[in-house]
């Protein structure tokens, strides 16, 4: 709560976020590059041979698409209940990054699906469809911010949309257990986790890279949003004075 109050002041946030924004971005890029390299030199999987290498890109992107949405839900809740100005900015800034991760997950998953199932897309698969719904929720959320007359109305409407859309998150996670799907069940962090270190290490390094990149890019977008708002306020004040 104290941290929340501290960062409610945009000046404090701007002072504290300058170096983390670039630092996390650089760290993310470095970790992703290292994870990709480890993934490319990893031995072939005994079941999925070379196709398993696609997982080092696909799985972290999907994890982070869900994480980004969970982050937006938290920020939207804080914005909705406490009308915290920075929480609005955080949710708004995370949305495009989450949408990019979801798009990466959908496209790379489609390629993997083609090589494994022989089809680029399967409408009957609940995991695929629920992730596509997540992508559309991201786009809808971004559109709401653009469509409303005032930022206050946009923040309110976008928060409500985000909180309603949170229903989709458990559906995505449990779709492979609840429905008969082509998509395989979770491999990592389950009681039946049989992935070897050769696969786990590049996967976790890539996931950490995606996480750091998400943090860095979200902070960059938050800073841009605060600077833009401040500039618009100054211009409005100047116009009113003239």
Partner 1 sequence: MTPIDTDYSAYVFATYGIALVALAAAFGWSALRLITARRKLDEAERAETDGSAET
Interacting residue ranges for partner 1, rule: CB under 8 A: 21, 25, 29, 32, 36, 40, 49-51, 53-54, 57-58, 61, 96-97, 100, 103-104, 107-108, 111-112, 114-115, 118-119, 213, 217, 220-221, 223-225, 227-228, 230-232, 234-235, 237-238, 241
Helix residue ranges per DSSP H, the chain: 2-6, 10-41, 55-82, 85-117, 126-147, 151-165, 168-178, 197-241
CB 225 → partner 1: shortest distance, Å? Answer: 7
CB 30 → partner 1: shortest distance, Å? Answer: 13
CB 124 → partner 1: shortest distance, Å? Answer: 16
Can you give the three-state secondary structure of 143-160, one letter per residue? HHHHHCCCHHHHHHHHHH
Q: 49 by DSSP, 3-state: which?
A: strand
Max intra-chain CA distance, the chain: 73
Which residue, 103 or 169, has its beta carbon nearer to partner 1?
103
CB 13 → partner 1: shortest distance, Å? Answer: 14
Task: Report how far residue 172's alpha carbon sits from residue 151's, in angstroms, rounded to the nearest whole number.
Answer: 31
Which residue, 50 or 192, has its beta carbon nearer to partner 1?
50
Which residue, 80 or 134, has its beta carbon nearer to partner 1?
134
In our burial notation (b when 16+ CB lie closer than 10 A, e otherwise), range 81-103 reads: eeebbbbbbbbbbbbbbbbbbbe
CB 27 → partner 1: shortest distance, Å? Answer: 13
Which residue, 34 or 77, has its beta carbon nearer to partner 1?
34
CB 91 → partner 1: shortest distance, Å? Answer: 16
* Alpha carbon 51 to its chain's center: 24
Contacts of residues 226-229 at CB distance under 8 Å and 24 or more positions apart, as own/partner, are 226/10, 226/13, 226/14, 226/89, 227/14, 229/151
Which residue, 147 or 227, has its beta carbon nearer to partner 1?
227
| Residue 136 structure tokens | 């559309």
Residue 50 DSSP one-character state: G
Which residue, 3 or 19, has its beta carbon nearer to partner 1?
19
Determine the Cα angle at 30 with ends 49 and 52, to 5°.
10
Which residue, 53 or 156, has its beta carbon nearer to partner 1?
53
Hunting for tokens 């897309």 — which residue is that? Answer: 121
CB 5 → partner 1: shortest distance, Å? Answer: 25
């Amino acid at each position: 709560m104290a941290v929340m109050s501290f960062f409610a002041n945009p000046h404090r946030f701007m002072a504290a976020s300058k170096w983390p924004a670039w630092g996390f971005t650089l760290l993310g890029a470095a970790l992703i590059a290292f994870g990709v390299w480890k993934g490319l030199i990893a031995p072939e999987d005994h079941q999925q041979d070379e196709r398993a290498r696609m997982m080092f890109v696909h799985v972290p992107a999907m994890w982070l698409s869900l994480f980004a949405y969970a982050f937006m839900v938290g920020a939207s809740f804080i914005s909705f209940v406490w009308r915290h100005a920075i929480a609005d900015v955080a949710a708004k800034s995370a949305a495009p990054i989450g949408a990019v991760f979801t798009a990466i997950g959908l496209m790379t998953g489609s390629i993997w699906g083609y090589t494994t199932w022989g089809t680029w897309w399967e409408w009957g698969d609940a995991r695929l469809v629920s992730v596509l719904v997540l992508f559309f929720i991201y786009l809808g959320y971004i559109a709401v911010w653009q469509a409303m007359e005032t930022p206050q109305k946009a923040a309110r409407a976008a928060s409500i949309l985000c909180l309603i859309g949170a229903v989709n998150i458990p559906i995505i996670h449990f779709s492979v257990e609840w429905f008969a799907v082509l998509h395989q069940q979770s491999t990592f962090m389950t009681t039946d986790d049989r992935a070897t270190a050769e696969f786990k290490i590049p996967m976790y390094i890539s996931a950490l890279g995606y996480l750091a990149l998400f943090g860095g890019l979200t902070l960059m977008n938050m800073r841009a949003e605060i600077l833009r708002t401040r500039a618009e306020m100054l211009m409005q004040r100047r116009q009113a004075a003239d």
